[in-house]
């Protein structure tokens, strides 16, 4: 039987536990690998003096193989090219993008090292699925080492518009490496269209029936929105720990309505704009002030990168200013929390919130929006307010869709959500939940792997840099 090999920057141990603090990608892939069995390869998250290339192996529901990286690798590949070049650029933030040759060099070097390390672990009939922007050139590196297996790549973040991508000195080279894959997947048609625009206009690629052709290679492009493990999440929302956190939140709310936001502390998530929109609401609706509060959970991420330190400082200032301006002895408008919570506790917190405020400025998909929906009480569901610029907005059209840059739109949506009759909340929630259940993580995984498996074995000879 074909084995699934997943390769991504970070991997999660095959423990099957739901209580750890994990990102959306980790949860989604664990669900896929547990069902399939297989191999998950990536960076251990650890540093070593001298790269050995020999993976450490952990066996469980699937096999986990990880390698340590040298400090310079981490600096140039992870903190540099991945987090300071590709992440901001692909989230349309040219103003925050750092264009350093050393970053690009480190990125290519580490992808070569990953290829060297994983290549001996591969079997002839594996289907290889490489994840995300850290590893765009890995497929090309594997092909160079003689890898003829079926290979797919999935991008978890947006693909930027052509005019923005052309600011990247390595753009053409990077895009050409994607031709090493048999299937390339994006969350939405919008990201796929942006990719296609660049490939056609700048590289002269042809496109017909979902297949992109360039330099004698053909790649199937797929819009394939990721979902959550909806059934698991719904169950988790009813678990004893979720009930406990639900009860704790309701008690501490003392009859007030809660708005919840849950995001990694990242500038793409629009946290400052969210606070400003909420402030606008407090200014425009003084009568509502003490009837609600905003709980913003924002565990720090990428804390060694300066832009992330800046956003943390700026948000603390903003929360302090808004609380200073509006708080009373018995009420604080924003509860701003910089730590992570176990997933089952999060499920209880989502369920206790009358409004889920998910307002990224740009987001590949956004799983929090789907988790919020899955955690609701079907008899008395809360309202999802969702940014038009999250990939999730393509599917979740029954949410209150807003432009997160507009404080007024956000304020109006909060008001509408608070006033929304129960019947309308139920109608919207049912439609949203049906989508979350139908297009869940298993659907996503199948859609992608079906396309990958039907690609057929590869006819070697790929050389992207030639």
Report the interface residues with ligand GDG, using CB under 6 A: 21-25, 27, 156-157, 226, 262, 264, 297, 299, 340-343, 346, 363-368, 371
> Catalytic residue among 156, 182, 187, 229, which?
156
**Residue 212 bridge partners (DSSP):** 207, 219
Lay out the sheet containing 217-223: strands in order across. 56-59, 63-69, 38-47, 4-10, 127-131, 150-154, 183-186, 217-223, 211-214, 206-208
**CA-derived radius of gyration, the chain:** 22
- In the complex, least distance from residue 75 CB atom to ligand GDG, rounded to whole angstroms: 22
**Residue 6 bridge partners (DSSP):** 40, 129
- In the complex, least distance from residue 330 CB atom to ligand GDG, rounded to whole angstroms: 27
| Burial of 158 (C-beta count, 10 Å sphere; 0-12/13-18/19+) | buried
Establish whether 459 is a catalytic residue: no
Nearer to ligand GDG, 147 or 236 (CB): 236
- In the complex, least distance from residue 372 CB atom to ligand GDG, rounded to whole angstroms: 9
Which tokens is 309 given? 């330190």
- In the complex, least distance from residue 230 CB atom to ligand GDG, rounded to whole angstroms: 12
Q: Give the separation between CA 82 and CA 86, rounded to whole angstroms.
A: 5
Nearer to ligand GDG, 115 or 342 (CB): 342
Nearer to ligand GDG, 38 or 340 (CB): 340
- In the complex, least distance from residue 422 CB atom to ligand GDG, rounded to whole angstroms: 26
Nearer to ligand GDG, 68 or 263 (CB): 263
| Beta carbons of 57 and 68 less than 8 angstroms apart | no
| Burial of 290 (C-beta count, 10 Å sphere; 0-12/13-18/19+) | middle
Nearest to 350, CA basis, from 238, 190, 192? 238
> Catalytic residue among 263, 266, 344, 363, which?
363
Long-range contacts of 330-334 (CB under 8 A, 24+ apart): 330/290, 331/256, 331/289, 331/290, 331/293, 332/293, 333/278, 333/282, 333/289, 333/293, 333/294, 334/275, 334/278, 334/293, 334/294, 334/296
Nearest to 416, CA basis, from 331, 323, 351, 354? 354
List the alpha helices (DSSP H) in 219-365: 230-236, 240-253, 271-284, 306-326, 343-352
Q: Give the separation between CA 135 and CA 152, rounded to whole angstroms.
A: 12
3-state SS, residue 186? strand
Establish whether 363 is a catalytic residue: yes
Q: Which residue is nearest to ligand GDG (CB)?
A: 24
- In the complex, least distance from residue 12 CB atom to ligand GDG, rounded to whole angstroms: 12
- In the complex, least distance from residue 28 CB atom to ligand GDG, rounded to whole angstroms: 6
Q: Give the separation between CA 82 and CA 103, rounded to whole angstroms.
A: 8
The residues that are catalytic are 156, 363
């Amino acid at each position: 039987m074909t084995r699934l090999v997943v390769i991504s920057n970070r991997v999660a141990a095959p423990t099957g536990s739901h209580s750890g603090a994990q990102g959306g990608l980790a949860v989604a892939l664990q669900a896929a690998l547990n069902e399939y069995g297989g191999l998950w390869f990536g960076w251990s998250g650890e540093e070593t003096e001298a790269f050995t290339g020999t993976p450490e192996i952990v066996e469980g529901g699937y096999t986990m193989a990880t390698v340590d990286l040298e400090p310079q690798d981490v600096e140039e590949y992870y903190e540099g090219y991945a987090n300071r070049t590709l992440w901001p650029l692909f989230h349309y933030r040219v103003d925050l993008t750092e264009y350093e040759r050393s970053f690009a060099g480190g990125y290519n070097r580490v992808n070569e090292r990953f290829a060297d390390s994983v290549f001996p672990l591969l079997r002839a009939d594996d289907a290889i699925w490489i994840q995300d922007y850290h590893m765009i050139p890995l497929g090309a590196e594997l092909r160079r080492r003689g890898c003829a297996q079926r290979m797919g790549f999935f991008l978890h973040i947006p693909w930027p518009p052509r005019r923005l991508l052309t600011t990247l000195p390595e753009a053409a080279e990077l895009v050409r490496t994607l031709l090493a894959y048999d299937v390339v997947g994006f969350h939405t048609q919008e990201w796929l269209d942006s990719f296609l625009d660049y490939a056609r206009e700048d590289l002269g690629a042809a496109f017909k029936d979902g297949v992109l052709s360039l330099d004698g290679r053909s790649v199937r492009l797929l819009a394939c929105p990721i979902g959550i493990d909806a059934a698991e999440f719904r169950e988790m929302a009813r678990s004893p720990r979720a009930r406990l956190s639900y009860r704790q939140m309701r008690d501490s709310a003392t009859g007030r309505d809660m708005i919840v936001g849950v995001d990694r502390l990242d500038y793409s998530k629009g946290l400052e704009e969210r606070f400003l929109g909420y402030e606008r609401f407090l200014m425009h609706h003084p009568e509502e002030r003490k009837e609600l509060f905003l709980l913003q959970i924002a565990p720090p991420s990428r804390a060694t990168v300066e832009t992330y330190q800046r956003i943390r400082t700026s948000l603390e200032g903003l929360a302090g200013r808004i609380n200073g301006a509006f708080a009373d002895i018995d009420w604080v408008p924003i509860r701003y929390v910089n730590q992570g919570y176990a997933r089952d506790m999060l499920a209880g917190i989502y369920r206790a919130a009358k409004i889920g405020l998910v307002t990224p400025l740009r987001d590949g998909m956004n799983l929090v929006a789907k988790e919020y929906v899955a955690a609701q009480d079907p008899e008395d569901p809360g309202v999802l307010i969702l940014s038009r610029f999250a990939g999730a907005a393509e599917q979740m059209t029954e949410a209150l869709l807003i432009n997160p840059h507009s404080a007024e739109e956000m304020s109006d949506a909060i008001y509408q959500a608070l006033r929304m009759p129960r019947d309308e909340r139920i109608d919207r929630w049912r439609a949203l939940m049906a989508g979350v259940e139908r297009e869940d993580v298993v659907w996503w995984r199948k859609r992608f792997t079906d396309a990958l498996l039907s690609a057929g074995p590869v006819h070697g000879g790929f050389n992207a840099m030639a």
